[in-house]
Amino acid sequence: MFIICMKKVMLTRLLSKKGVCSRKEAVQFIKTGRVRVGNRVIKDPFVFVFEDEKLYLDDSLVKVIKKVYFVLNKPEGYVVSNKDDLGRKTVLDLIKFKGHLFAVGRLDIDVSGLLILTNDTQLCEGVLDPSEKVIKKYHVKIDRGLSKVEVKKLKSGVLIGKHKTKPAFVRIINFDPKNYWIELGICEGKFHQVKKMVTKLGAKVLDLNRVSIGGLHMSGLKKGEFKKISEEEIYMRLFCSKKS
């Protein structure tokens, strides 16, 4: 006799996983009594429910939304957010997709480059999980040249607060001290990690551009341009081409 144990997840995560809203939005929906699990109206955002339970939002059955994937070459000046309290432009203003999307990881407002937008929470978790070793590569302009010792420190890991960064890929693109660029590859995504790694050496980042995630590249997209990509292709490029 086999006993099947259904997995329980937090209600906010289940709503997000089904692609109807972000976790932050889910908290507000639940607190205001708009969410029902079976016949129960639940107002506690942190309650755990079974994954197969029927969810209702405003008395409408929540169905799994078709997964979509966009690759965007983010320009500087855009916030990676669904909306901005300061009224700044967001990356969703570029795509104008009718439906819930979120970014896989973040890029600062002054940083450009490759950004994935999707409603697939599983993909997001996989890319951001350091154990999956999905390498994110950046082209970084620095205000001065780095010594061999400093490059070695970046490769082996630097201490940021109490956290030592994992080993990184480093390649010098341009040796000119007045126009010094490196390519830096990391499998983590800590807050401002690239900038902090360089700052730890006593140097400063002048320009930063993300060029790839795993085996996924921008494929000639100009800044502000985007393209839709299939589920099969994005999973293959992200998780089957980690050395690219």
Give pTM, 2 decimals. 0.78
Query: What pLDDT score was predicted for residue 241?
Result: 61
Range of 52-61, 64-73, 165-174, 184-193 with top mean pLDDT: 165-174
Collapsing DSSP states into helix, strand and coil, what is residue 137?
A: strand
**CATH fold of 8-61, please?**
3.10.290
What mean pLDDT is reported for the chain?
Answer: 90
CATH number of 69-129+215-239: 3.30.70.580
In a 10 Å sphere around its CB, with 0-12 CB exposed, 13-18 middle and 19+ buried, how is residue 183 labelled?
middle
pLDDT of residue 39: 92
- Give yes or no on whether 8-61 and 135-213 have one common fold: no
Whether the pLDDT of residue 1 is over 70: the answer is no
H or E element in which residue 236 lies: helix 231-239
The stretch 135-159 carries a mean pLDDT of 96
Cα distance between residue 189 and residue 157, in whole Å? 14
- The C-alpha atoms of residue 216 and residue 236 are separated, in whole angstroms, by 9
* Percent of the chain whose pLDDT exceeds 70: 96
- Give the pLDDT confidence score for residue 4 in this predicted structure: 42
State yes or no: pLDDT of 85 exceeds 70: yes
Query: Based on the number of CB atoms within 10 Å of its own CB, is 72 exposed (0-12), middle (13-18) or buried (19 or more)?
Result: buried
Does residue 244 surpass a pLDDT of 60? no
Residue 112 has pLDDT above 60, yes or no: yes
Query: Per the structure block, which two tokens stand in for 29?
Result: 């929906």
Confidence of residue 3 (pLDDT cuts 50, 70, 90): very low
214 versus 65: which is more confidently predicted?
214
Examine the pLDDT at 107 and tell me if it is beyond 50.
yes
Lowest mean pLDDT among 21-25, 33-37, 89-93, 207-211: 21-25
How much is the average pLDDT of 18-27? 82
CATH class of 135-213: alpha beta
Per DSSP, helices labelled H in 74-184 are 92-95, 121-128, 148-156
For 32, the 3-state DSSP assignment is coil
- Averaged pLDDT, 132-146: 95
Residue 90 has a pLDDT of: 94
Query: Any idea where the domains of the chain sit in the sequence?
Result: 8-61, 69-129+215-239, 135-213
pLDDT of residue 104: 92
Express as a percent the part of the chain with pLDDT over 90: 65
Contacts of 162 (CB under 8 A, 6+ apart): none
